[in-house]
Amino acid sequence: MIELKNVSFSYSVECKPALENVTLTIPRGEFASIVGPNGGGKSTLIKLILGLLKPQTGSIKLFGEAPEKTRYRVGYAPQQAKVDYRFPINVQDVVLAGRFGARTEKGTRTFFRFNRDNKARAIAALEKMGVADLRRKSFGDLSGGQRQRVLIARALCCEPELLILDEPTNNVDPSSAKKFYELLAELHKSVTILMASHDLSVVSQLVDSVVCVNRVVQSHPTEAFTGDLVRDLYHSDVRLVRHDHRCSESGHFHGEEDSFAAE
């Protein structure tokens, strides 16, 4: 579903690369989590996969083709800090905006069909996320957890085969985050999910693979992160930082609890 080969990307010639020599494959049906420190390149990786940024070297395929051709098949919820909540827009219209992408990029729907379907699909997506009752409210008045559900509904509204979520639980309280993950587990039955997250607890409970991003990228099956190791990791920032530090080394950590504990 996603394939990167030897991808390097810099924002400018003066900057050192945000991502270097990334090779990564995400198969259909996977639930993959992207982890790594702030500034490590998680959002950059997501934007490259969507074709919103172009790599200087290497190749990126989404559904086997150039990302700009196929990204209409992806539902994308960007990192929330980038959204301007002062903009006066109600919840239903936020979700409907997800349909415009579907229409423009597919270019196959007639205008009439789009108009007739869009509201029903927006409401269905809101219902799926359990927030249909909020649809007439102003988006800016919602809590962090409610906003998050609305933004996922927006991403789901184009009936994606792949859902890409960039730090979806930022600004969401822990109990809302738990409910949110339960919803994601349900969604994963029908859609491939790629999610950047700082919450390593979700790694052990939900995801199939973990993509560590800190300029370089290493992918692991979740088994390498389960048990005491992961519980320790997500309860302790210090150990999380250690993990991230190791992600940046050429001898990347991969495996045994003992070798990790010895650090």
- Chain residues in the site for ligand ADP (CB under 6 A): 11, 18, 36, 38-44
Residue ranges of alpha helices (H) inside 54-134 are: 67-70, 91-106, 111-128
Q: C-alpha angle with apex 233: 229 to 238, nearest 5 degrees?
A: 130
Q: Are strands 162-166 and 192-196 parallel, antiparallel or unpaired?
A: parallel
- Provide, rounded to whole angstroms, the least separation between the CB of residue 47 and Mg ion: 10
- Considering the complex, what minimum distance in angstroms separates the CB of residue 44 from ligand ADP? 3
When the beta carbons of 184 and 213 are compared against ligand ADP, the nearer one is: 213
The pairs formed by 219-224 with CB atoms below 8 angstroms and a separation of 24 or more are: 219/24, 219/25, 219/32, 220/254, 224/254, 224/255
Give the C-alpha separation, 61 to 46, whole Å.
13
**Of 170 and 176, which has the nearer Cβ to ligand ADP?**
170
The secondary structure of residue 195, as a DSSP letter, is: E
3-state secondary structure of 18: coil
Residue 82: CB minimum distance to ligand ADP, A: 10
**Residue 44 contact partner, candidates ligand ADP, Mg ion, none, CB within 5 to 8 A by sort of partner:** ligand ADP
Least distance between ligand ADP and beta carbon 9 (Å): 9
First to last CA, the chain: 36
Query: What whole-number distance in Å separates Cα of residue 96 and Cα of residue 125?
Result: 10
Contacted entry of Mg ion, ligand ADP, none for residue 75, CB cut-off 5 to 8 Å set by kind: none
Contact stretch for Mg ion (CB under 5 A) within 7-15, 22-30, 78-86, 187-195: 78-86
The site partner of 29 among Mg ion, ligand ADP, none (C-beta below 5 to 8 Å per kind) is none
CB of 112 to ligand ADP, least distance (A): 39
Q: Which is nearer to Mg ion, 42 or 103 (CB)?
A: 42
Q: Where are the alpha helices (DSSP H) in 8-90?
A: 42-49, 67-70
Q: Give dist(CA 261, CA 263) in Å, integer.
A: 5
99 binds, among ligand ADP, Mg ion, none (CB under 5 to 8 A by kind): none
Among 18, 41, 43, 211, binds Mg ion (CB under 5 A): 43
- Look-up: residue for tokens 């088994």? 223
* Angle made by CA atoms 61, 66, 67, in degrees to the nearest 5: 80
CB of 42 to Mg ion, least distance (A): 5
Cβ proximity to Mg ion, 79 vs 171, nearer residue = 79
| Residue number with CB closer to Mg ion (34 or 233) | 34
Rounded least distance, CB 153 to ligand ADP, Å:
23
Residue whose CB is less far from Mg ion, 17 or 131: 17
Query: Can you give the binding site for Mg ion, defined by CB under 5 A?
Result: 42-43, 79
